[in-house]
Structure 1
Amino acid sequence: MTVSQEFTPGLVLRGLTPPLRLADFKLAVFDMDSTLINIECVDEIAAEAGLKEEVAAITEAAMRGEITDYKESLRQRVKLLRGVTVADLERVYVERLRLNPGVERLVAACKAAGMKTLLVSGGFTFFTDRVRDHLGIDYTRSNVLELESGPNCGQLTGRMVDQDWGDICDGDEKRKMLLETCAKLGISPKQAIAVGDGANDLPMMGEAGLSVAYHAKPRVREQAMVQINEGGLDRLLELFA
């Protein structure tokens, strides 16, 4: 068993000897909710329906790995969102969603080193597409919330829309997308960095050459090569020469 050691305060390493070279990596893969951004979007959407406590409890259990069927847990949460409007989603985006500290600096450093970037999220395209565009991320995969048609146009149905790649972006889909993107780029998964905070990030983190837990759940911290427990996401750059 590899022992974890604190490199500098709040930055814990397992099986790594810095300095590393950013040029050795070709792809950076990021989770979104509570990793690139400060909120769990599904919980904040639920707050608009007065159901945040109920939905957040399911989210927390899923992120800790206590619910093994992530897809079903997400379906349960989205079902509770029926009747929430696009205007409510917009309010969440404008009033509550913020990038986490250091995100812009880290993404810019990855791009400057010639890396491609990928955002994979169990969240929703309403938010991931905007975060992608703001940060200039190359690829994304996430879920589509279904909208009512007819008289209730602009309200959520409480379901998600199947996409050409599948139904829900869960941990297995995140892993699959990382591997597919590596194949598209002609690189090894060991040339990828994967960053996340929840149990559904573990499958992709297990494939990457460098796995990073950002203010993560205990199970994720235990398995990651890097733990960022204090400060911003750009603390990862402390490991690179």
Structure 2
Amino acid sequence: MPQAHEISPGLVIQGFTPPLRLTDFKLIAFDMDSTLINIECVDEIADAAGRKVEVAAITEAAMRGEISDYKESLRQRVALLKGVSVASMEQVYAQRLQLNPGAATLVAACKAAGMRVLLVSGGFTFFTDRIRDLLHIDATRSNLLEAVDGVLTGRMLDQPWGDICDGDEKRKMLLETCNQMGIGAHQAIAMGDGANDLPMMGAAGLSVAYHAKPAVRAQAMVAINSGGLDRLLELLH
């Protein structure tokens, strides 16, 4: 692993020399929970069921990479959401979810540079669809919660691409999109905070950790440890 170097407070690089040009890249893929937004949505939904502590403990272990089977950990957490109303999810979105600092600025800068923007999340379509529309993101992939009569069943539904968006699926979508665009993975940026982001970060030409878990910071080419997402623009001109 190359030597890490803090080029300004809270901004660490390893494995390359800045500045790069934003126009060197054609694609950027973002994680959602705790990256583009300030919360872990599954934990906040669980709060409505009185199970936040239990669910958040599983989420934290999964993000640290202490749980090897992400899909099973997500199924366990979603099962604990059974009985939560869709109205409670609306409250999470309206009252608890906020974009992280610099999110809108960075996405807008990427789009202005002609980049395609992806949102790939181990979270849920209920939230990714809204963030997609809010930030004018090009495409998303995330998990679909099953609801019957306005109440969660504790299960997720399969989608045309598969069952659960885990780390491997995030990497797959990044590479599929590169292929569709006729670009190499070296022209892609991947940005996340948890262990399930490492597969796509490892495939991308530039990997960025945002206020991330230690294992993710250690492997990323850029680690933003303080300040907003738009600090990436300090390196990409």
Q: TM-score range by the shorter chain?
A: over 0.9
1:60 is matched by which residue type in structure 2? E
How far apart, CA to CA, are the structure 1 residues paired with 2:177 and 2:7? Answer: 31
1:82-161 alignment, distance < 5 Å: 82-148=82-148, 153-161=149-157
How far apart, CA to CA, are the structure 2 residues paired with 1:25 and 1:172? Answer: 22
1:72 is matched by which residue type in structure 2? E
2:142 is matched by which residue type in structure 1? S
Give, in angstroms, the shift of residue 99 of structure 1: 0.1
How far apart, CA to CA, are the structure 2 residues paired with 1:43 and 1:100? Answer: 17
RMSD, aligned CA:
0.5
Residue by residue, what CA displacement relative to the aligned partner does 1:49-68 show, whole Å, maximum 9, x if unpaired? 11000000000000000000
Give, in angstroms, the shift of residue 22 of structure 1: 0.5
1:13 is matched by which residue type in structure 2? I
- 2:48 corresponds in structure 1 to 48
Q: Does 1:222 align with 2:218?
A: yes
Residue by residue, what CA displacement relative to the aligned partner does 1:50-96 show, whole Å, maximum 9, x if unpaired? 10000000000000000000000000000000000010000000000
- Which residue, out of 172, 175, 178, partners 1:176? 172
**What TM-score results when the alignment is normalised by the length of structure 1?**
0.98
Gapped runs of 5+ residues in structure 1?
A: none
SS of match in other structure, 1:213 = strand
- 1:193 corresponds in structure 2 to 189
Report the more deviating stretch, 1-10 or 75-84: 1-10
Give, in angstroms, the shift of residue 101 of structure 1: 0.0
- 1:19 corresponds in structure 2 to 19
How many residues align structurally? Answer: 237
Identity %: 76
Give, in angstroms, the shift of residue 202 of structure 1: 0.2
How far apart, CA to CA, are the structure 1 residues paired with 2:115 and 2:80? Answer: 39
Give, in angstroms, the shift of residue 45 of structure 1: 0.1
How far apart, CA to CA, are the structure 2 residues paired with 1:200 and 1:156? Answer: 24
**What TM-score results when the alignment is normalised by the length of structure 2?**
0.99
1:66-81 alignment, distance < 5 Å: 66-81=66-81
1:182 is matched by which residue type in structure 2? C
SS of match in other structure, 1:73 = helix
Give, in angstroms, the shift of residue 9 of structure 1: 0.6
Give, in angstroms, the shift of residue 15 of structure 1: 1.1
SS of match in other structure, 1:163 = coil
SS of match in other structure, 1:7 = strand
Give, in angstroms, the shift of residue 16 of structure 1: 1.5
1:23 is matched by which residue type in structure 2? T
SS of match in other structure, 2:55 = helix
1:132 is matched by which residue type in structure 2? R
